[in-house]
Amino acid sequence: DIVMTQSPDSLAVSLGERATINCKSSQSVLYSSNNKNYLAWYQQKAGQPPKLLFYWASTRESGVPDRFSGSGSGTDFTLTISSLQVEDVAVYYCQQYYSTPHSFGQGTKLEIK
Amino acid sequence: QVQLVESGGGVVQPGGSLRLSCAASGFSFSSFGMHWVRQAPGKGLEWVSFIRYDESYKYYADSVKGRFTISRDTSKNTLYLQLDSLTAEDTAVYYCAKAHQYTFPDYWGQGTLVTVSS
């Protein structure tokens, strides 16, 4: 099974500053036949279900603000918020869909400093 | 627009059973796989199960294998999760989620709470 590990577990960033969340998989989620990373990012606000932000590690879902970006390949991935807004307070999860079980990272709680 | 509405949660005793339902609308239910994902109180997301659009494949997390059964009824646009031999560790909000063509969850329901307690 692929284990997903996020860092840090929690993060406090000032409004307007950059927030960076890391996700590491225990084995590569890059599928060589199509050169795609089977990695998604989700945002979960308090009391709400998760919302898809990115798939293929860096393809932004429709409607997601462009201050959000996803990057990385193989086993190391990053979610970046370039200028933190109040509405970005949430827990963020990465998930691999390369193989079952489709494991999630433990989550990173993002707060305002 | 895609809508997923879970139901069937509640309080059940250890060793008991429950069947969760997820009513889907706003998309061609018969064309997409579906997931169940759960979240224990104050904890992270745990993927539980996936069923392919044609029911040809069903996958389960090791933690529920042999106890939970995923199924779907295309005529009713409804996804199910049968939960048997429940333990306190199964206490969680259970979300159903539509799968994108490439299997990751792209739309989620609001969830239904299952509490296993005596």
**pLDDT tens, position by position, B5-40:** 999 999 999 999 999 999 999 999 999 999 999 999
pLDDT for res B101: 84
Non-local CB neighbours of B56 within 8 Å, separated by 6+ positions: none
**What Rg do the C-alpha atoms of chain B give, in angstroms?**
13
Question: CB B104 to CB A38 under 8 A?
Answer: yes
Which residues in chain A have Cβ-Cβ distances shorter than 8 Å to B36? none
Mean pLDDT of B73-83: 98
Q: Out of A1, A91, A102, name the one closest to residue B50 (CB).
A: A102
Select from B61, B104, B109 the Cβ nearest to the Cβ of A97.
Answer: B104
- Is A54 in CB contact (< 8 Å) with chain B? no
In the predicted model, what is the mean pLDDT of residues A76-83? 98
Measure the CA–CA gap between A55 and B39, rounded to whole angstroms: 21
In terms of CA atoms, which chain A residue is nearest residue B100? A55
Structure letter (DSSP) for residue A32: T
**Contact yes or no for B106 and A100 at CB 8 A:** no
Count the Cβ atoms, other than its own, within 10 Å of residue B82.
14
Is residue A14's pLDDT more than 90?
yes
Q: Which pLDDT belongs to residue B60?
A: 97
